[in-house]
């Protein structure tokens, strides 16, 4: 099939379709123009809630930390105490208690250094912290899913420029991982193999959508990408969770995350906004042999530092649609340098 015409692609991980309209990438834009993020932040900001030694919005004071720093979210969306669940009163009005915990993880004491600007060792420390928090939260009886994520940049709703991530742990398996659980189990049942092992094998063979890879993981623009420069990072080894990674895998994954985020910043020579999140298997005490650990980068920008992709009419009411093809996006990201534009 020729992919030059409008077509739809199947997202094997979610079981949903995306409309691809390659000819539409050149349409004129007279719509919203985003503000550029500030280029030069101080290394310490006395007004920042997350900088070492400063008071937070909730009143607590941060220690003079020197590596990654974790604290319980002062405005947590999930709380550990919950009333006992009661049976639903009606099929139309269902609710359930959702006990959980939310933490904030500052990457480093530096107010001005994002993931691609941190050293390899510092990013390894961030990953080791995500791993340790996952282990700690997963050990609680009432926690069945641990979601690690980063909102980077004001465009993605980050409330503070100090580089940080979050971990939200809850009793229920969440909507997005639940879809992936079904598709991975169904693929295994039908083909007798792992969906993402097969997918990575095929993508590294063809290379058209691979952005960058190393011995530990592969970063690619998925065949079914929705966001213009969406990237999927898949571990080469069939592991279910961050807590399964060896020390050398943590180090390889850190290197790959630095490369992807460096290329993102180099694309429009600006601090590139995105949401990043890991999808590990649930931690409800069952085994999930079909689950394959991966991470999604969802960046909002489309054609420049100031023009974003809007998920509006058709996307909200019908299905996602994209103009730039995943192959074109991969080609552009692949051609960029692994040296950050500000370090040249």
- 48 contacts which partner out of ligand H2U, Zn ion, none, CB within 5 to 8 A by kind? Zn ion
Q: Please state the separation of Cα 125 from the chain's center in Å.
A: 18
In this chain, which of 15, 58, 63, 88 binds ligand H2U, going by CB under 6 A? 58
75 binds ligand H2U (CB under 6 A): yes
Q: Who's near 301: CB < 8 A, 6+ residues apart?
A: 34, 155, 228, 229, 267, 268, 272, 273, 307, 308, 309
Beta-carbon count within 10 A of 224 CB: 21
In the complex with ligand H2U, which residue's Cβ is closer, 183 or 275? 275
56 binds ligand H2U (CB under 6 A): yes
Which residues partner with 219 through β-bridges?
A: 212, 233
CB of 205 to ligand H2U, least distance (A): 37
CB of 105 to ligand H2U, least distance (A): 10
- Residues 74-113, interacting with Zn ion (CB under 5 A): 111
Q: Report the distance separating Cα 1 and Cα 6, nearest Å.
A: 11
Contact 259, 220 (CB under 8 A): no
Contact 184, 196 (CB under 8 A): yes
| Residues acting as catalytic residues | 164
Q: Who's near 257: CB < 8 A, 6+ residues apart?
A: 115, 123, 127, 233, 295
In this chain, which of 119, 120, 159, 335 binds ligand H2U, going by CB under 6 A? 159
In the complex with ligand H2U, which residue's Cβ is closer, 73 or 243? 73
78 binds ligand H2U (CB under 6 A): no
CB of 57 to ligand H2U, least distance (A): 3
The arrangement of strands across the sheet holding 69-72 comes to 69-72, 100-106, 164-170, 145-152, 274-279, 294-298, 231-235, 217-220, 210-213
Size of the site for ligand H2U (CB under 6 A): 13
In the complex with ligand H2U, which residue's Cβ is closer, 147 or 212? 147
151 binds ligand H2U (CB under 6 A): yes
Contact residues for ligand H2U, defined by CB under 6 A: 49, 56-58, 73-75, 104, 151, 158-160, 166
Contact residues for Zn ion, defined by CB under 5 A: 45, 48, 50-51, 111, 162
């Amino acid at each position: 099939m020729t992919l030059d015409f409008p077509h739809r692609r199947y997202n094997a991980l979610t079981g949903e379709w995306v409309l691809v309209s390659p000819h539409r990438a050149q349409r004129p834009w007279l719509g919203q123009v985003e503000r550029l993020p500030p280029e030069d932040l101080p290394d310490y900001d006395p007004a920042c809630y997350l900088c070492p030694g400063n008071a937070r919005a909730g009143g607590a004071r941060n220690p003079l930390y020197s590596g990654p720093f974790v604290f319980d979210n002062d405005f947590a969306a999930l709380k550990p105490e919950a009333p006992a669940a009661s049976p639903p009163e009606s099929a139309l009005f269902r609710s359930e208690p959702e006990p959980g915990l939310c933490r904030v993880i500052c990457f480093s004491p530096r107010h001005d250094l994002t993931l691609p600007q941190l050293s390899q060792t510092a990013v390894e420390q961030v990953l080791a912290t995500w791993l340790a928090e996952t282990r700690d939260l997963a050990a609680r009886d009432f926690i069945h899913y641990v979601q690690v994520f980063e909102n980077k940049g004001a465009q993605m709703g980050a409330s503070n420029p100090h580089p940080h991530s979050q971990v939200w742990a809850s009793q229920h398996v969440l909507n997005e991982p639940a879809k992936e659980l079904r598709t991975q189990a169904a693929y295994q049942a039908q083909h007798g193999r792992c969906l993402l092992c097969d997918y990575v094998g095929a993508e590294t063979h063809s290379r058209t959508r691979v952005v960058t890879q190393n011995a530990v993981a592969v970063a690619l623009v998925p065949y079914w990408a929705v966001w213009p420069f969406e990237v999927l990072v898949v571990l080469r080894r069939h592991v279910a969770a961050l807590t399964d990674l060896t020390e050398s895998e943590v180090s390889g994954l850190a290197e790959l995350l630095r490369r992807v985020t460096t290329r993102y910043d180099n694309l429009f020579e600006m601090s590139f906004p995105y949401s990043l999140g890991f999808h590990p298997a649930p931690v409800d005490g069952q085994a999930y042999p079909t689950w394959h650990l991966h991470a999604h980068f969802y960046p909002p920008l489309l054609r420049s530092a100031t023009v974003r992709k809007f998920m509006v009419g058709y996307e909200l009411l019908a299905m996602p649609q994209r103009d730039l093809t995943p192959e074109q996006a991969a080609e552009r990201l692949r051609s960029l340098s692994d040296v950050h534009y500000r370090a040249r």
